A and B are shown apart, each in its own frame.
Chain A
């Protein structure tokens, strides 16, 4: 059974970097095309952050976040990571790791709440 489990610090100070990890179990990362991060701020709609190919060679990001976001894969640890730089309160959200292919999201993690506050 494939499972995705996000983890992170929970609380980050403004202007700092938010770092989240997604542990993938039940399948090697290399067996699925795209690994994606999506977030949902409180009371707002879901927002696609970006994606990375399992090879780590191709990534795509939401235009509004591209300058502050990076996604990486670690095939040896079977992990996908997300970094968001220079965070503000607007980055407070539930962050979801997801497995995607063929223009759809096949599997989601349960999400982890990241709060930006001093």
Chain B
């Protein structure tokens, strides 16, 4: 099972919006609405940001939003803030290995 494809890095200025793509295949992203995103800040445990493509867990800022079209899912961060700097991973449920992950995108503000 190949990893999902994410851009290595994305940057933006404070207050701007950025979008991170996550491209899979018809066996994972394209087949299931079980795409999640997590945020990995330096020195901290990864944190769930988005699940089931576009749902936010309680306590997650509404500046984070998710969507999906075909085999590609996307995470948008609106009103970019310095504390958003970190690595963002997408992952999808698959029928073969439970989860397949993206390579991670480093966000620089």
Contact = CB atoms under 8 A, between A and B. Distances in A.
Contacts, number: 58
Size category of the A interface is 20 to 34
B46 interface: yes
Interface in A104-118: 104-111
Contacts of A102: 51-52
A60 interface: yes
Interface residues of B, number: 25
Interface in B46-63: 46-48, 51-52, 57
Contacts of B44: 110
Given A48-B101, A104-B52, A96 B96 contact: no
Main secondary structure of the interface of A (DSSP, over half): strand
A13 interface: no
Nearest to A96: B46
B45 A111 contact: yes
B103 A105 contact: no
B86 to A, nearest CB: 13
B63 to A, nearest CB: 20
13 contacts: A4-B45, A38-B99, A45-B3, A46-B91, A47-B101, A48-B98, A60-B98, A104-B48, A104-B51, A105-B36, A107-B45, A108-B38, A109-B45
